Amino acid sequence: MLDRALCICWYNLPEQSREAYLSWFHESYIPKLLQQPGVLWAAHYASAKVPPHALLRFTNDNSIPVGTDHILLVGANSSHSFAKDVRMFADGVPRKPDADLPQEDRKMLSLRIGKRTNIMIEEARVDGPEANQRETGVALSPCIQLGSFNATSPEVEEELLAWYAGSRMPSMRKLSGCLGMRKLVSVAGWAKHAVLHEFVSLEARTKHGVLHKLEGRRERGDWENRLIPKLIHEPGSPNVAFRIWPPVKLD
C-alpha cells in the first residue's frame, strides 16, 4: 500500500461526552472521512498511559496543545490529500476547513480538547517478524508506539539519521511481537520527527519492548544516555496506544 503520508491528530475528550462522541466518530465520521479523495485508511487509538522514560525531555512551549488520550491516524498516498482547502488557492476565496461539514459533525468535533495535528511523510520503513500477522484490510496494528519530537541541533539530526538507519530500524526486523516500524518527517506541525512502531498487542509491546531496550544497551552502548536528552518531545510522547477502530478481532 502506497500510504506514504500520514495525518496524525492527538486530543482529549470530556468524560461525560466520550461514549457519545466515540459512537458518532466510528459509525459516522470515519466512514465519511474514508470517502475523501486520496484517503486510504484510518485508525483510531486510545492511550495506554505508559509512564515516560526517565531521560525524556518535553517541550515547555505553552502554545503546544496537550491532548494525549486519543490518536487518529489517517493514511494517504500524498500529503497534499490533507490540504485543508485547496480551492482557496485557486479561486482566492478562503473558507473554513470544516465549512462543508453538517452542523452536528462540527458540534461533535468541537468536543475535542487539546487537539494538535502533524502531517508527516515517510522517510523509511521496515517490516518486523510478525508482518505476516497483519489483519486483512486493516492498515495499522492493534497496538502502536508513536514518538514525536524535535532535535536540538542539526548535528543531533545527523546522529538520529545514523541511529535509525544503522541500528534501530534493522533491530526492529528481529523484535518479537513487532509488525513493523516507520520513520516519519513533518510537512506541517510542531514535531519535525516521528517514529511509529507497530505491535501485535499491548502485551507483546510490554513484554518484548523492555527486553529490546536492555539488549540495545548491551549491543550499542549507552545511546539512551547520550542522545535521548538531546530530543524535545511533544506531550505524552512516545504514546503507547491500543486500537479502538477498526475493532480488534479477538481469537
Instruction: DSSP for 194-214, please give it.
Output: EEEEEES-HHHHHHHHHHHHH
Per-residue pLDDT of the chain (251 residues; tens, 9 = 90+): 689 999 999 999 999 999 999 999 999 999 989 988 889 999 999 999 888 777 899 999 999 999 999 999 999 999 988 886 544 444 444 445 555 678 888 899 999 999 999 999 999 999 999 999 999 888 999 999 999 999 999 999 999 999 899 888 998 999 999 999 999 999 999 999 999 999 999 999 988 775 555 555 544 546 667 888 999 999 999 999 999 999 998 76
In a domain, 172, yes or no: yes
In a domain, 250, yes or no: no
Give residue 86's domain range: 5-245
How many structural domains does the chain have? 1
pLDDT in the model for residue 220: 54
- What is the CATH number for 174? 3.30.70.100
pLDDT in the model for residue 89: 47
In a domain, 170, yes or no: yes
In a domain, 102, yes or no: yes
For residue 35, give Cα distances in angstroms to 24, 237, 245: 16, 30, 16
In a domain, 188, yes or no: yes
Joined together, the cell numbers standing for residue 99 give 465549512
What pairing do the DSSP bridges indicate for beta strands 193-199 and 57-58? unpaired
Task: Round to whole Å and give the CA distance between 193 and 191.
Answer: 6
CA 35, 38, 40, 41: dihedral to nearest 10 degrees? -60
In a domain, 28, yes or no: yes
Task: Round to whole Å and give the CA distance between 95 and 88.
Answer: 7
In a domain, 212, yes or no: yes
Question: What value does the CA radius of gyration of the chain take, rounded to a whole number of Å?
Answer: 18
In a domain, 251, yes or no: no
